Structure 1
Amino acid sequence: MTTPMPRRALIGLLVASLFPALNAWAQEAPRAQEKGPAAADAMLHALDVKYPTRYQPMEANEVKAVLDRVFTYLDRTTPAELIHKADNSPITDLTKADADAVFKPGDFRLTSYEWGVTYQGMLAAGQATGDQRYTDYTQKRHAVLSQLTKTYLPVVKADTANSHAPIKSFLNPHALDDAGALCHSFLKAQVAGSKVDYSQMVGICGDFVTKHEYRLKDGTLARGGPDGKGGRKMRPLADTLWLDDMFMGVPTMAYLGKVTGNRKHYDDAVNQVLQFSKRMFNPKLGIYMHGYVEGMRDHPELRWARANGWAVMAMVEVLEVLPKDHKGYKPVLEQLRAHIKGLAGYQTKDGFWHQLIDRNDTYQETSATAIYTYAIARAVNRGYVDAQMYGPMANLAWNA
């Protein structure tokens, strides 16, 4: 049996083995080391580092200034007014249908899915800041849409193909883009206490999302269903899932559960999140592909940034109203956490994400970065994810 070398002897041997090297170093004295920074400045956490994008918490007054600037522009460029198409003269009586009526031209459409998102953002800004102007922006336009629905829905129903209405795409929707985000904004406003009459509008868009949009056999919202003529709609192929539709449809389901008290809508929302994720989420990368075609063995797996934004925002919106005792609450929360963790690895040093998230040869994309900023900040503020880990992500993205 070998006797272990005493600790002191082992140390002596190691020191002795260094002597040749020490002798070699002694033959040529090293240059004097440059004087280091003062002791007070030597603490790394105290250094004033100049990053390309400011790496510091967002400040409330700065955020408010940005919101005010955005509000001023949008309030000016999205008038909630009708005019005669023939001569641009104003229409003041919205209770009478007019075949020549159109919205006064602005920079954006008041019934687009983008404006469904904008209405929600204005409501959130009003709640966060207490500035009634933001809330009024949404409620004023909702009130106009509500009156136009009362006036023009009978006209559209009487002759779907040939009738005219300034909001016809909403009154006779053909896709989730026509109805889902708007419906979500109506329901959020209703939950927040808006006095606008949403009953008729929610009846149209809520029924379209939950009853009329095409679904796969397991109930997942899909595109490319029957075209009514014996063929299939190619959007872009039959039985196609687009990740966008997680946001365009799923939060509406959850909010219908909140407004109606019918838990089947919560069940539907949860199933959509999990079924989309099963098909389209890559757990190794922590991000989603954009498109999926049922029945295909292989998929391109193009991981489009904005589509991932729709997904992460859909999940924070579902969790906003999904009861914590619902059996799907924890699975949705865990899916959200997995997605945000995945996104963390792809944020650039400037605070953005690339157009194709995992392709650095694509450009840094602003709309996706804006969506991630909101969704991650909301997840931090609601305690869904760790603030110390993910708060800096949101701050860097805001400052980008």
Structure 2
Amino acid sequence: MLHALAVNYDNPYRAMDATEVKAVLDRVFAYLDASTPAQLVSKTNGTPIARLDKADPDAVLKPGDFRLTSYEWGVTYAGMLAAGAATGDARYTDYTVRRHRLLAELTRLYLPAVKADPANAQAPIKSFLNPHALDDAGALCMSFLKAENLGVGVDYSQMVDVCGSFVTQKEYRLKDGTLARGGPDGKGGVKMRPLPDTLWLDDMFMGVPTIALMGKHTGNAKHYDDAVNQVLQFSKRMFNPKLGIYMHGYVEGMKDHPEMHWARANGWAIMAMVEVLEVLPKSHKGYQAVEAQLRAHARGLASFQDKDGLWHQLIDRPDSYLETSASAIYAYALARAVNRGYLDKEMYGPMINLAWNAVAGKVNAKGEIEGICVGTGMAFDPAFYYYRPVSVRAAHGYGPVLLAGAEVIEMNRRYRFGLNDSGFMYQGQR
């Protein structure tokens, strides 16, 4: 009976029940609710502003640990909505609704002045009202459109007009329409982001889900076509079919490209595909191609999971550190794909539970999430990625943890996982 000896796994080798998952999410919620106030204060003296009747250049959002209008917080708003739906706890949904409502009111008050004088107008959310990059608009717009689809009682019309039009019409693109960085700088030159005509894999998420959601929002099928083309054009240039993972950056016109397989960028890519498939009509001619690309990426990611459940900062370099935010994104996207039938529950369910248990172990008693890589540009050498710092103040991990927990709750409600011949695996429908 040696095979039955107790094994000392570093993380739980089992499926958490919904109550256990929610306990982890509750810690994250309590921390974020306390540390991201939805309140205006005077820039001059810090006193609270209870109500604004007109635009006031002295009004600012009360500082917290994180910004309410960052792309990371677009993911967090979506994560709160998902957690509310999965747990039935209205506090999560209310978190997003209260902040969206504040942003909608600030848009109503300040947008006319920002439109009239973009360079000099003051506004608490100016980076959103006058976006200059997908980071300013794309993920936030996704959260607005997701909330609108859920019937949230906020008037999103002005905000979606700002962010939706920027993503679909104004962001720089290559000649074939692929979203890119490093376009004209407005002064006769070219932006170095970091080089002209550069693709960042991150932008598959920063722009493409919003493009697909705009198809549903407007009823215009051209946005569905655009979203599919983005996925396929990014993948043609940046996906390594032998490894099943993506490079982080690509520069149009270069003969060779540095294959740095950064984990979080791969997370943004697979997350983009599950979000596109969520709204893309199954009858669309590109649906099967996006689903096939998702499956190819999932297979690649599965082959690189570490023994204790996380993935490495550079996915295919096991001497790079284990990173939390990417692992949480994979857990979410793979669980969503299992729940929607894109991936086999038998193969992916065990690894998703393993990943979630490892991610959950990174949530400390205060609700902070440890092991998150800070914001990261694109580089052509491994040292840059190996030595990026980690911090509990890196906003990139909080939304993915909420999303992952919510989707794991749904998956484990639908399917039963447990020990079978001492191995953890699928055991049938519930």
Q: TM-score, normalised by structure 1?
A: 0.88
Matches within 5 A, 1:342-357: 342-357=300-315
Distance verdict in 2 for CA 1:47–1:263, change over 3 Å? farther
**Residue 235 of structure 2 aligns with which residue?**
277
1:311 aligned to 2:269?
yes
In the alignment, residue 299 of structure 1 is paired with which amino acid?
A: H
Query: Which of the residues 297, 316, 319 maps onto 1:339?
Result: 297
**Residue 70 of structure 1 aligns with which residue?**
28
**Residue 232 of structure 1 aligns with which residue?**
190
Residues 56-102 of structure 1 show CA distances to partners (whole Å, capped at 9, x for unaligned) of: 11211111111111111111111110000111111122331111111
* Secondary structure of residue in 1 paired with 2:60: strand
Structure 1 vs Structure 2: percent identity of aligned residues? Answer: 76
Matches within 5 A, 1:112-261: 112-261=70-219
1:320 aligned to 2:278?
yes
In 1, Cα distance between equivalents of 2:277 and 2:266: 17
In 2, Cα distance between equivalents of 1:370 and 1:192: 24
Tell me the CA shift for residue 53 of structure 1: 2.2
* Secondary structure of residue in 2 paired with 1:292: strand
In the alignment, residue 181 of structure 1 is paired with which amino acid?
A: A
**Greater alpha carbon shift after TM alignment, 254-263 vs 213-222:** 254-263
In 1, Cα distance between equivalents of 2:13 and 2:222: 44
Distance verdict in 2 for CA 1:48–1:381, change over 3 Å? farther
* Structure 1, unpaired ranges of 5+: 1-40
1:109 aligned to 2:67?
yes
In 2, Cα distance between equivalents of 1:58 and 1:120: 22
In 2, Cα distance between equivalents of 1:171 and 1:234: 24
In the alignment, residue 108 of structure 1 is paired with which amino acid?
A: F
Distance verdict in 2 for CA 1:47–1:376, change over 3 Å? farther
1:377 aligned to 2:304?
no
Q: Is the 8 A contact 1:94 1:147 kept in 2?
A: no
In the alignment, residue 243 of structure 2 is paired with which amino acid?
A: L
In 1, Cα distance between equivalents of 2:185 and 2:353: 46
Q: Is the 8 A contact 1:95 1:147 kept in 2?
A: no
In the alignment, residue 365 of structure 1 is paired with which amino acid?
A: E
In 1, Cα distance between equivalents of 2:19 and 2:5: 26
Q: Is the 8 A contact 1:95 1:148 kept in 2?
A: no
1:51 aligned to 2:9?
yes
* Secondary structure of residue in 2 paired with 1:102: strand
Q: Is the 8 A contact 1:240 1:292 kept in 2?
A: yes
In 2, Cα distance between equivalents of 1:296 and 1:172: 32
* Secondary structure of residue in 1 paired with 2:9: coil
Tell me the CA shift for residue 49 of structure 1: 2.6
* Secondary structure of residue in 2 paired with 1:378: helix
Tell me the CA shift for residue 338 of structure 1: 0.4
Structure index of larger Rg: 1
Tell me the CA shift for residue 47 of structure 1: 5.1
In 2, Cα distance between equivalents of 1:94 and 1:270: 42
* Secondary structure of residue in 1 paired with 2:250: strand
Tell me the CA shift for residue 309 of structure 1: 0.3
Structure 1's consecutive aligned runs of 4 or more residues displaced over 6 angstroms after TM superposition are: none
**Residue 289 of structure 1 aligns with which residue?**
247
Residues 254-308 of structure 1 show CA distances to partners (whole Å, capped at 9, x for unaligned) of: 1111122111111110000000000000000000000000010101110000000
Q: TM-score, normalised by structure 2?
A: 0.82
